[in-house]
Amino acid sequence: MTATFPLHAILWDLDGVVVDSFNGHFHAWQRIFAELGEPFSLEDFTRTFGMNNRGILHTLLAREMEEQEFWALSERKERYFRDAIRGNCRLLPGVADWLRRFDRLGLKQAIASSAPQENIDALLDELGVRRWFAAVASGAKLRGKPDPAVFLLAASLLRVEPGACLVIEDAVAGVEAAKRAGMRCLAVLTTNPPQKLARADGIVQDLAHFSEEALLALSASGG
């Protein structure tokens, strides 16, 4: 882009930003914790939303877990999730329009999600939006958000400097990860109130309420 509009790439979180998958994840985790004989509330889910599976289990289980048990639980949870979303997921407001508009503006686009690759693939295929993304970065085997690893990987795959990226996030951990990566961040209010997302450079109810004027202002903000 020009010096007036220095953003070169958009990094999309997936769950809660591109797709309404909240209920699918919630019910999958409910099944897992019920099998473990452990409580799991909506509040537990909301405060860990955006973390990878290791982060969620570490935060909510008051015990250490062997690697073999972790991977077995994680794989089972994701299988439950993929079953839940089949034929039952939708794009969030404004997403389809902005995928086209970012493309028209010449901005590269990537998915940068904590989700396992199998989940990302299932959602992109179910929603029919894979063609818009030049790269897909899964953070399932990286350090989890708020560590910036998945955003830095996505920028690297696009061959774009971190400072030229705008991250779109809905989770507290994701906003923090974007800022640690040295990127601008737009937060959408899918899963958290605005006061919890105050670190973001901009906040909108959803992408249907975002404008090219707001994009230009974010671009000029310098992160």
191 in the same domain as 106: yes
Report H helices in 5-52: 22-36, 42-48
Residues 126 and 143 placed together within one structural domain of the fold:
yes
Residue 5 pLDDT > 90, yes or no?
no
Identify whether residues 76 and 95 lie together within a single domain: no
Q: 99 and 79, same structural domain?
A: no
Each residue's pLDDT tens digit, 8-24:
999 999 999 999 988 89
Question: Is 202 found in the same domain as 113?
Answer: yes
Q: How far apart are CA 52 and CA 4, in angstroms?
A: 36
Q: Within a domain: residue 68?
A: yes
Q: Which residue range(s) make up the domain with 173?
A: 9-19+90-220
Beta-strand ranges (E) seen in the chain are 9-12, 108-113, 135-138, 165-169, 184-188, 202-204
Quote the CA–CA distance of 59 and 43 in Å, as a whole number: 13
Q: Is residue 4 part of a domain?
A: no
Q: What is the pLDDT of residue 135?
A: 99
CA atoms within 13 A on the CB side of 184: 23
Give the type of residue at 32.
I
Q: The domain that contains 193 carries what CATH number? A: 3.40.50.1000
Full-model pTM: 0.87
At 174, list the tokens.
């994701």
Q: Provide the pLDDT for residue 3.
A: 45
**Per-residue pLDDT tens digits for 32-74:** 999 999 999 999 998 887 788 888 999 999 788 899 999 999 9
For residue 62, being part of any structural domain is answered with yes
Residues 109 and 213 in one domain: yes
Domain boundary among 36, 63, 85: 85
Q: 68 and 116, same structural domain?
A: no
Number of domains observed in the structure of the chain: 2
Give the C-alpha separation, 184 to 202, whole Å.
Answer: 9
Same domain? For 105 and 196 the reply is yes
- Cα separation, 174 vs 81, in Å, equals 21
Residue 47 lies in a domain: yes
Domain end, chosen from 32, 59, 85, is at 85
The tens digit of pLDDT for each residue in 66-99 reads: 999 999 999 999 999 999 988 888 999 999 999 9
Q: Are residues 79 and 113 in the same domain?
A: no
Average pLDDT, rounded, for the chain: 93
Angle between helices 67-85 and 53-60 (to 10 degrees): 110
pLDDT-derived band at 204 (thresholds 50, 70, 90) equals very high
User: Looking at the domain assignment, is residue 57 inside a domain?
Assistant: yes
Res. 132: pLDDT tops 90: yes
Same domain, yes or no: 75 and 113: no
Strands (E), 52-183: 108-113, 135-138, 165-169
Are residue 170 and residue 97 in the same domain, yes or no?
Answer: yes
Q: Do the domain assignments include residue 53?
A: yes
Q: Are residues 123 and 207 in the same domain?
A: yes
